[in-house]
Amino acid sequence: MTHVWTADLIAPDQDFAGAPLLRKEFDLAAGHGDVVAATLHVTAHGVVEPSINGAAVSDEVLTPGWSSYEWRLRYRSYDVTPLVAEVSVLGLALGNGWFRGRLGWSGRGAFYGSELAGLAELHVEFTDGHRQVVGTDTTWQAGPSATTANDLYDGQTIDARLTSTAWTAPGADLTGWVGVHAVEHDAGRLQPYVGPPVRRHEVLHPVKVWTSPAGATLVDFGQNLVGWLRFTVRGPVGTEITLRHAEVLEHDELGTRPLRSAKATDRFVLSGGEDVFEPTMTFHGFRYAEVTGWPGELTPDAIEAVVVHSELRRTGTLECSDELLNQLHRNVVWGLKGNFLDVPTDCPQRDERLGWTGDIAAFAPSAAYLYDVSGFLDNWLADVDLEQQHADGLVPFVVPDVLKYVDAPSDFPAPESTAIWSDAAAWVPWALWEAYGDREALARHYPAMTAHARRVEGLLSDTDLWDTGFQFGDWLDPQAPPDDPIKAKADNGVVATACYYRTLRQVSAAAEVLDRTDDASYFSALADRVHSAFGKHYVTDGGRITSDCATVYALAIEFGLLDGADRQGAGDRLAELARANGYRVSTGFAGTPFVTGALSSTGHLDDAYRLLLERECPSWLYPVTMGATTVWERWDSMLPDGTINPGEMTSFNHYALGAVADWMHRTIGGIAPLAPGYARVLVEPQPGGGLTWARGGLDTLHGRIETSWSIDGNRFQLDVTIPDGVAATVRVPGEDAVEVGAGKHHYATSLA
Ligand code: BGC
């Protein structure tokens, strides 16, 4: 329920190193009986940690996350009934977060404002029905915390000598505290959370602690993760422990160059007593940490890594007989966790961590299988919608769009619709529709889908091709020079026109679902025009496509731009190119999610498996053989000789190239939606690549779908579980499809 706010947004009269505390002491209204319910509504400019009488109000962190603050600031509402007492202290600890901290590579922060501020309203209800409201106003006070520096990119400094809980108790000595002032703001921006909050998840312990050749104490957590370090320590007062984080080692030392300007450094000054350290106003993408200043010897049991991301329910699983593929799949899962921290980001570690639209456009179908991401992405799409509404239908490169505030480098393109990136406005809602079948969610984002489609219509050439203007195109084509990732083999017009065609098909299908018949026929007619322009200008007889590289065939086949002999010819050519390239991947952001599907759907399943199972660089498994525990930004983020790719952008945690998981789910696990929300499912595992067994599982709205197949000699067996409410089409290799309903089904056949 939307809360109607009466409180003021308040800022401290002094900034207190960017981590002020706000405090209000109050008496519960007397004479009204017991407290029946108490609810706290809270948000901030910055991040906020609310407490009542010293107790944390919730275990959520980094609230209120990052939204397009200009138009939408989310708040949380907590049941705090057990926390209120006759005399109570309501406290808010603030930090810079996304609101005022650094964002992007420009070195700048404070894009949304220069002042941190808190907004809270405590509603207490008594037995006799009386209601008491304690809200932020100018009677509050502000004081310093033990955090003396905090930034999402650079890290947090906590001086335990300043740690005190006294301020949370009634009657505290508030020497040094100051007043607060109300901050003008548009209360119309305040909205409850749509998606999930951010929480702590796994806790990982070091697998190794050692001294590097340069004499540094290094810790390996065995997993590239996103979160922070936590420990309890005792040492001489004033001792400073410094923690630097990195995803990889290079030359046996911490490899921090990929972080660019992000310092990713936490500092902790000891009080002399027993101190607990947990920097909750930052986060790092790391597997390794360098610990300096630890009192005595650092042992593995002394320190732990806390994994932090949005609360998401795991729904989809896949396992098979190939351990490298299983590791690849785990890497995809960890890539999702690390980059689903309130906003779907490109990467979680360097001075970027932005909601790049193209990355999630590629990855959304894989994500929607692995986890229930409906709320998370619905929330992000709300910002896509808002950004777009304020930019004449333009879907920006990143959402929330902070780049609009940055003086773009001279070589940076002016904002305009670009294929894949802007297509996120259609592809992401469509992926959610396929996975969850939520018509209302589709309707919510339908205006954004159509606004994008219409804007691009205005960018088409007279030929009906989208062949002018800036494109990221097949970004990060592995054959592009490391410092020029935009120089792809694939023709930009082919890529953009193909992607636009896919968008138009989705938009017209969405219009049909939503009974917008005029739109449906308009966009489907436009799609037909683009289709024939594509054929006329880019396809020659036999399915050859302009720029003749894997990406253009993958897109044309998978997006339905070719028929009959052309389609088969394109598939054959794609297989030929794959073979000629020694089954090394030759596609970038555009082609990679679709290349295996284009092969398997044109009769080249073996080639698809060979591509997937290739270990030489560039390939999906090369990073796995190099010990990767997340999906890398570049196929060769780490070069075979163990040095880091010299490119400016070298992340070791980028989910985009992990979009192959979608094909793995459909083809190895054999689970693909035939109707939105899996009301009908295609169960068609396609064994290959020497796999001897695989198991897939997916929690759908209707219940869990499970598959399990194995091969013994030439005998193929498949067990399928279909929940009530789901109709399945099951196809085993070499047999006709059969239609089945709920229940457990067993199939066996002999492979040719
Ligand atoms: C990001 C990408 C993003 C790209 C756009 C990079 O810096 O990390 O993932 O999509 O820029 O070109």
- Residue of 423, 649, 650, 655 with the most ligand 1 atoms within 8 Å of its CB, for mutation: 649
SS3 content of the chain, % helix, strand, coil (to 5): 30, 30, 40
- Residue of 105, 343, 345, 346 with the most ligand 1 atoms within 8 Å of its CB, for mutation: 346
Atom from ligand 1 closest to the CA of residue 356: 10
Among protein residues, the one with the nearest Cα to ligand 1's atom 4 is: 356
Atom from ligand 1 closest to the CA of residue 397: 5
Among protein residues, the one with the nearest Cα to ligand 1's atom 12 is: 472
Cα of 660 to ligand 1 centre, how many Å? 18
pLDDT tens for each residue of 595-634: 999 999 999 999 999 999 999 999 999 999 999 999 999 9
| 528 φ, ψ (degrees, to nearest 5) | -60, -40
pLDDT at residue 312 in the model: 98
Q: Could you give the CA distance from residue 225 to residue 245 in angstroms, rounded to a whole number?
A: 11
- Cis before 400? omega within 30: yes
Mean of pLDDT values over 126-136: 98
Residue 483: pLDDT band by 50, 70, 90 thresholds?
A: confident
Residue 1: pLDDT band by 50, 70, 90 thresholds?
A: low
* Residue 427 pLDDT exceeds 90: yes
- For 63, residues 6+ apart whose C-beta sits below 8 A from its C-beta are 42, 43, 44, 47, 48, 49, 76, 197, 198
Among protein residues, the one with the nearest Cα to ligand 1's atom 11 is: 356
DSSP 519-539: HHHHHHHHHHHHHHHHHHHHE
Q: Could you give the CA distance from residue 570 to residue 557 in angstroms, rounded to a whole number?
A: 7
Q: Is the model's pTM score more than 0.95?
A: yes
Lining ligand 1 with CB less than 6 A are: 346-347, 352, 356, 358-359, 472, 475, 649, 654, 656
DSSP 8-state class, residue 398: B
pLDDT at residue 91 in the model: 98
Mean of pLDDT values over 96-108: 94
Active-site residue, 684 included: no
* Residue 411 pLDDT exceeds 90: no
Cα of 403 to ligand 1 centre, how many Å? 12
Residue 480: pLDDT band by 50, 70, 90 thresholds?
A: confident
pLDDT at residue 2 in the model: 77
Q: Give the whole-number percent of the chain exceeding pLDDT 70.
A: 99
Mean of pLDDT values over 257-283: 97
Say which of 49, 319, 633, 706 is annotated catalytic: 633
pLDDT at residue 410 in the model: 65
* Residue 737 pLDDT exceeds 70: yes
Structure tokens at 690: 């020497």
- For 307, residues 6+ apart whose C-beta sits below 8 A from its C-beta are 200, 201, 202, 203, 204, 225, 226, 227, 337
Cα of 545 to ligand 1 centre, how many Å? 27
Whether 69 contacts 386, CB under 8 Å:
no
pLDDT tens for each residue of 386-409: 999 999 999 999 999 999 998 766
* Residue 356 pLDDT exceeds 80: yes
Rounded to the nearest integer, the mean pLDDT of the chain is 97
pLDDT tens for each residue of 280-294: 999 999 999 999 999
3-class DSSP state of 414: coil
Atom from ligand 1 closest to the CA of residue 654: 9
Q: What is the dihedral of CA 346, 351, 355, 356, to 10 degrees?
A: -60
Q: Could you give the CA distance from residue 275 to residue 1 in angstroms, rounded to a whole number?
A: 40
